[in-house]
Structures are given as C-alpha cells and as structure tokens.
Amino acid sequence: MSTIKRTLAAVATLGFALCALAGQSVGSNTGSRKIQLSEPAVMLGVTVPPGAYMLNWTRERGSEELRIELARGHDTVATGKGRWIESEQPSPYESLVYRADSSGTSGLAEIRFKGSADSILIDADTAVASNDE
C-alpha cells in the first residue's frame, strides 16, 4: 500500500510541475498590456493620438524575437518587432520607456514589468503603420 501512495504522490508532483512549467512558457510567449495615453506619442513608428490602446506581443518560435502590435478596439494601429532582454535588476515599476531617435523624436523603446528583470526592447526600424483604421 505504501508503494501505491508513493507512486500517486510522485505522479501528482510531476503533474503540478508540468502545469507550472506550461504556465510559465505561455506567459513569456504571448502577452498584452492596456495602455492609456494622455498626450500624443510615437509608438512603433506611428504618432498615436491620446486614448486607450492594447499593446500585444507574440514570441517567435525558438528565438528571443517578438512581433509587437498596437491596437485600438479591433483596429491595428501599428506593428513592429522587438526582443526579450534581461536587465541587471528587476524593475520597480510597470513602465513604458521612451527614447529620442537621431531626429530628436521620442518613441517607445522598451516595456518593463514590475518585479521582473525581463523587459521587451522595441526595434523601431521594423515599425509599420497599419491601414486597418
């Protein structure tokens, strides 16, 4: 009887471990974040008016590269690419980081997550405006 209990305990532990690992991989492969802009901003190469948007990302299979999409309702405003990076320290805040390019225009450069050293670095050269609006 103790052999059966040990076997069941091992199977249950393995099941919990697999569920935990599956949950981690899904979370890091795709994600989304609501953002509220109070003034116009350059995001993924497009000047975006104030309002509520959804920032979505999907990890490309087998790499650190991401496909990033900015949407308002059912309309895609812009798309671009990015990649997962790891900082030396976890970010104390959820934040969108803007940086000026060579022309002096500030644009979305990084997405940081509270309590995590992982963040998404935006590749501004791949941004494409969408005609879905």
Bridge partners (DSSP) of residue 81 are 67, 123
Q: pLDDT for 4-53, tens place per residue?
A: 544 444 444 334 433 333 333 334 578 998 988 888 888 888 888 889 99
Domain ranges (residues) in the chain: 30-129
Beta strands in 1-133 (DSSP E): 30-37, 41-43, 46-48, 51-59, 65-72, 75-86, 95-100, 106-112, 118-129
Amino acid at 18: L
Q: Residue for token digits 């992982």? A: 118
Q: Containing H/E element for 25? A: helix 2-29
Q: 45, 105, 52, 117: which is closest to 81 by C-alpha?
A: 45
d(CA 111, CA 113): 7
**Torsions phi, psi of 2, nearest 5?**
-65, -30
Q: pLDDT for 78-128, tens place per residue?
A: 999 999 899 899 999 988 888 887 777 778 889 898 999 999 998 876 555
**Tokens at residue 27, please?**
């979370």
